[in-house]
Amino acid sequence: MRPALLDPLFAPATSLEGVGPKVVAMLENVVPADLGAREARVGDLLFVLPHSVIDRRSRPGIAHAAEGQIVTLEVTVARHQPAPRGNRSVPYRVYAFDETGEIALTFFHANAAWLEKIMPVGADIVVSGRMEWFNGRPSMVHPDHITSAEETDSLPLVEPVYPLTAGLSPKTLRRAIGQALGRLPVLPEWQEGEILRRQTFPAFDLALKRIHNPMDPIDASPKNAAWRRLAYDEFLAGQVALALVRARTRRLSGRALQGDGRLEAKIRAALPYSLTASQEQALSEIHADLARPERMLRLLQGDVGSGKTVVALLAMARAAEAGGQAALMAPTEILARQHLATIAPLAEQAGLKTAILTGREKGRERTEILAGLADGPIHFVVGTHALFQEHVTFHDLVLAIVDEQHRFGVHQRLAMTAKGDAPDMLVMTATPIPRTLVLTAFGDMDVSRLTEKPAGRRPITTVTLPFERLPELVGRIRTAIEEGQKIYWICPLVEESEEIKLMSAEDRAAALRKEFGDAVGLIHGRMAGRDKDAAMLAFKNGETRILVGTTVIEVGIDVPDATIIVIEHAERFGLAQLHQLRGRVGRGERASTCVLLYKAPPGEVARRRLEVMRETEDGFRIAEEDLKLRGEGELLGTRQSGAPGFLVARIEEHADMLETARDDARLLLSRDPELTSPRGEAIRILLYLFGRDDAVRLLRAG
């Protein structure tokens, strides 16, 4: 049960004065919580934090106020100049002065009676707003605040600026947030006294009040102790939730998978190369996990082409040696089929049978696969989300492997888990995730990293090229095709859109066909699975030499003789994605090139991205740079994919507190696994505040 103390914060936002259905719909666009299907609550408004402040303490006098500066002026009203009768386009002006000069206060579509009432001629008033100079004369259009000199104390000197949405006025939002703060109950302290002292954290309610009612611009800065306090609370809630998931999945005790190594030896003998040192290291960590009775929960991080699939296959061999089945789940059908192409022939050398299960297998073929999984003759299955479906049953699933984890939420991970008797779980990703994000998204897992490229991988030369030099590039590609090379050409869109003037994949394919005829193929996400596979196959077999596509080719497609990748409008892609795309080439014997085509002049962030791509091929360094440039929200894909969209914390500002939060969470749960101590009870409140109620349910589920 949710603690009754929190009821005022869980009331619908429509219970606030002045917040009806229309206003709440606009508020839902600015609250940072992922609302899903539920409506906004009072507590959601507490975390709508200001992105900047207006400092109204600046009182320079009319003549000394700079253009565009927000200032506060103490002035005397001189005269009113109403708009000419019948001409609404001319503004109403009120002229006022101080000892340094005169200013025109300008109002469009004004209510004359109201202006005469609040600014009578001869009155001393205080106005605050943005200074503009019009024809060399100072002006202020629609001042933000107008008060009499006696009531100047009511003027907010430092005013928070919040994210807004169409139709929502700052006043309405501020009033709603103010009411939400008023309903904040007195909460027990969930942080250790030592942490509060060391970090100089204020209490939770004081931290919120300081950010929403700043006395100084620093009060509303993410670097301030108040904001850091809330960020640490959020990290702690996240780490406690992950640790509870981990404890729960571990409690579904697995079983020790021991093998004699004979199947693994046969697969190794069939490999045309030997494993790298980091592959061997990762494999020994996985084998040690499998041999323990507790469930394995391990993340295998490896850059594009570092050989994760082979590590996965050798882990699957160990599962087969122990008499069980293994499943490998991929986010797309193309990737699933590619994994099958790698795994099936090697598994066959060891006498193991592999099947594929996606949405495409139908009729008798599907029935046979399902029977083979249920009765046991199929040892390994590769597939997409289709593996989750209820009618898919396994004879004895002991190892579940998930590729590109960030495309699947935690719920899907648990659904896969339900397919066997608590199977061991290995999660793989080619998105190099910085250590800080590994902690937030995968804090419940142990981590192995593949740091080397497999033998035979050639470095990739990366060049940047402005669009003006496109004809030169086309000439270079003609030469490459004559030499027998293949080319990927990536565009950001499928078809031309009205809003964005970019070359779409369809347009680019049409333009290149004028030059190269039928040698140009096309692939994009809106095509049917069968058509995509046909386009890939034609490219792989050399029927087409240039494959124009969208980012659908980003994940895992393997064409060793593709040696050039052109990425159009490279300035519009994130670093991690550029790096993923670049990894499509450099897989064969020949030297490879990545051409980043950009529209000049690139912006500051785009320019830095292109520089980083030229400087390094190290995916982990690229991921750290991407984090600096973009923040955490984008790096793991979207919030919907189970990645941690934060309400308050900013990874780039607050990452230094993550490890402390993880250690704190682990220590807490080792001492108080059911959260029944006074601090444990307070932590339950924290979990509800930050939307981690799922974790509290896990406690109850035991």
Helix axes 333-349, 308-321, angle to 10 degrees: 50
Q: How confident is the model at residue 581 (pLDDT cuts 50, 70, 90)?
A: confident
- The structure tokens 């002991």 sit at 398
- Alpha carbons 205 and 203: distance in angstroms, whole number: 6
Alpha helices in 557-692 (DSSP H): 575-582, 604-615, 619-630, 632-635, 651-654, 658-671, 678-689
Range in 84-98, 355-369, 630-644 with the lowest mean pLDDT: 630-644
The CATH number corresponding to 460-616 among 3.30.1490.20, 3.30.830.10, 3.40.50.1580, 3.40.50.300 equals 3.40.50.300
Q: pLDDT tens digits, residue range 359-407?
A: 888 889 999 999 999 999 999 999 988 887 778 889 999 999 988 755 5
Strand ranges (E), 46-123:
52-55, 70-81, 92-98, 101-107
Q: Is the domain 57-155 a CATH 3.90.1150.10 member?
A: no
The CATH class for the domain spanning 262-450 reads alpha beta
- Alpha carbons 549 and 166: distance in angstroms, whole number: 36
Q: How far is CA 580 from the centre of its chain?
A: 16
Closest CA to 212 of 192, 184, 190, 234: 184
Averaged pLDDT, 199-221: 92
Query: Which two three-digit tokens encode residue 257?
Result: 């998978």
Residue spans of the domains in the chain: they are: 4-53+162-221, 57-155, 262-450, 460-616
Statement: residue 171 has pLDDT above 80:
yes
Closest CA to 484 of 342, 596, 568, 589: 589
Closest CA to 565 of 552, 548, 590: 548
Q: In what helix (H) or strand (E) does residue 140 lie, and over which residues does it extend?
A: strand 137-141
- Alpha carbons 591 and 472: distance in angstroms, whole number: 20
Q: pLDDT tens digits, residue range 264-287?
A: 999 999 988 889 899 999 999 999
Q: Do domains 262-450 and 460-616 have the same CATH topology?
A: yes
**The pairing of beta strand 145-148 with beta strand 124-130:** antiparallel
pTM, whole model, 2 decimals?
A: 0.62
Q: In what helix (H) or strand (E) does residue 397 lie, and over which residues does it extend?
A: strand 397-403
